Structure 1
Amino acid sequence: MASAASVTSLVDEVNCPICQGTLREPVTIDCGHNFCRGCLTRFCEIPGPESEESLTCPLCKEPFRPGTFRPNWQLANVVENIERLQLVSTLGTAEEDDCPEHGEKVYFFCEDDEAQLCVVCREAGAHAAHTVRFLEDAAGPYREQIQKCLACLRKEREEIQEIQSRENKRIQVLLTQVATKRQQVISEFAHLSRLLEEQQGILLAQLEKLDGDILKQQEEFEFLISGEIYRFSTLVEELEEKNERPARELLTDIRSTLIRCETRKCRKPEAVSPELGQRIRDFPQQALPLQREMKKFLEKLCFELDYEPAQISLDPQTSHPKLLLSEDLQRARFSYKWQNSPDSPQRFDRATCVLAHSGFTGGRHAWVVSVDLAHGGSCTVGVVSEDVRRKGELRLRPEEGVWAVRLAWGFVSALGSFPTRLALEEQPRQVQVSLDYEVGWVTFANAVTQEHIYTFTASFTREVFPFFGLWGRGSSFSLNC
């Protein structure tokens, strides 16, 4: 048992330099000194000439920042143990192994009452009918139980630590993807801004030219129309004057005057020529290059931000003999008639499945599968690990290296550890499968409505392959590549 002097000496070592009392919730700052959390917090809040950035340690005057002090759990445990020793020393100097009731040394353990006994306690009537053993004998089975519990707890702790490591990696990958997308958006919109400015200049220049041509034709029109108005005004004045004269003067050269008026040719100029009018009507066509560039921009932006379309084909070396593959290896149909397919280690012999010819070891990829179940049956789509079982029964679940969904007549199921029937707005006929290898996501969506179907989360370490399965007469699928 620790002496009172040694306990006092330890107490002095765990005092707070600010309040001079025992440390409460000890925290450590950058220089290594420890203080009560409350004392240090209040110290940081005291107004003074220093700003928060120039706070200094109350002991060594080293600068520190308020947000950098961290809990010192080991020191907190030491303080707790010292206080426990203080309590024991104040209760008396009795030996720890002595019975508190009789003062005799404790040798036995009562399993019924879970009580430690001395010789006097054991002989007492209260424990006469109980199972009493020596301390070490009684402790043995409990030590074994503790070891088993420790093994289980350590294993579970390791699993949790693995989950922590995996999820932290996933978060870092996602952060990297977001940062990359941010740069892509900035770059693409900067390019679009330059393009829009250039196209704006082109269109405005064309409009300026149209404006100048219209004004030029307006001047020409005004000149021509003014001449016609003058000519007709002259004839009108001549006839009005003729009409006011006496009959003798009116009849003089009347026939030539009338012939000159009747045979006049009236020119009716147009303010805007047909050619210029057609140019004005065709002006919207000048924006077609911009429209094409905008379409290319949106397609490229969506491509950069979304999954890369995968160009895949079926691998006949893996196909089950009941699957009929098309010559272009883009379609498959179920048949009860076995094909004459040579056996190989890569071929499925029980599960009516087929893999894509190429797999993925990284990146973000997507492909679309069109499913035809008009005559019943089912179709399974997803991805599998390269070491997936090819011979014998294949259990379609993540534990076996399979991440897939099954489409059957009237329902869709996610093939997890236990199949889960999914509630969807409509039965998908085209399924988009998206793989994010680094993050570990396998996502399924209705390729037509974009309705989300299901997402698996995994941790890929091997190459994974697009996976397809069929069952039932007339069931088929095709790849939309």
Structure 2
Amino acid sequence: MAAASPLRNLEDEVLCSICLDYLRDPVTIDCGHVFCYHCIMKVCESARQPLHCSLCKTAFKTESIRHVWQMASLVESIWRMKADEERQPREERQREQKAEELCGQHLEKLHYYCKDDQQILCVMCRESREHRHHAAVLLEKAAQPHRGKILNHLKVLKGDRDRIQNLQSTGEDEIQALLAKFQNHKQDIASVFEQGHRFLREREQYLLECLEGMEQELTEGRNSHVTKGSEEVVRLGTLITELENKARQPALELLQDPSDIINRYPRKKFWIEKPISPAIKKRAEEFSDKLLSLEKGLRGFHGKLMRDLEYKTMRISLNSQTANGYLSVSPNGKSMVFTGLWMNKYQHGQRFDPEPGVLGSKGFTWGKVYWEVKVDRIWWGAEEEEEAMKYRGETRGVFGSSYVGGFIGITDGYSSPGYRDENEELEEEWSQENGIWPKFCLVGVARESVVRRGFLFTPEEGFWTLQLSSAGVCICTSLEPFQILSYCPRQIGVALDYDGGKVAFTNARTHEFIYEFSSSFSGRIFPFLWLNCMRSRLTLRP
């Protein structure tokens, strides 16, 4: 039996920790542990990426699995040794087992357990002077408490195992259900977009057919117009030639036919026709209205999908430490007004001065985030924006319509902040009549490192903003920004895609897309507001 213990130790070294049997076709992974080839492949097929060793939790890749031929030979040798051991005579093993159960000193069977010395005793040992006065009990009775503890602990371990198996089963069911749900989502996405594509293709074909029909009618009308006009010109040319020849006749010949020449060559009512029929003009105007409606609908669709599907709506507040002294920021940091009075006695290095600007309290270095800015001016009516959109129209659309309106000078520096009274408002109206609209607020984002004492709000300086005034909306990309809307929305949506280098603006009330900046961001990007008008308020939402 002396050789049995080393053999069992060797057996433990060649057992697979997954199937708990001898290694079959052994392979090793990056960490050096060895498994059966089929066992580790089943783990790779059922586990998620990345893969981890079941013993040391070290990550490994399927490509790193290598066969260990030396281990296969060792397993075969140990298996043969065990088979030889099992072929030993039964009587020899019984004698060895009996020898193990005898007292080493008295060669008597072991029946007792000494509680004081925690030793197993035979009858002779129990009666000896050493253990005679100790508490000794039968082996079975002494083992009962230990066996009970083992059984209780075994029950707890089995319960833990069952719970883990139940959790695994439940978790696998949840995972499979969610994966099935994802598959359904894929099908739904493909179906929804296919329906949308089909709908848009049908509408596109409908509009193109309408346009082709009008083109055909207009071409046919032009051909008819040219033909009739040419015929009439020929007829009149013939008549003119005859009369010219008649006029050149001598008086004798002319008087030989004294009949009324005018009656012989009467002036007929010549043909006249409009080149374009009123019906075609009316249909062309209606078609233009349909295109405007399509353009507006697509801008709204673009803005809504961009906000709902791609961006996370953030709760933004303002950092009063960066606010210009003439700005009053609410206690919760959600809104600000231009007071015209210097509110802050102490200067801070973060503060904008003299520009009436302020940064948000939170900057972003990754992700896609969205927030809204509500623009309030006291003299605005509730329906002003809708009326402006209805009657003014927009000056630039997503289909590349030409720009309308004058340029706005951005170098009107904020030299001396103060009240904007009625005279200034009249001056603003006068400026609009002369093609110059002074800004009253800026909405957008800014780099954390922007110069707080400058007055250029361009991307080169770290500002990506829309310029708002009562005359409309402009974008600030250079010293001379240009107008993109002829009305001022009451609520602006700002969508920042840091990783994609984009800042998009939408009309938050109608979801219409307004404009998008493309740039390469570095450092933190903060929400930015600028306000230079009394009786006005900018509010962050939500």
Regarding TM over 0.5, the answer is: no
TM-score by length of 1: 0.37
| TM-score scaled by length of structure 2 | 0.33
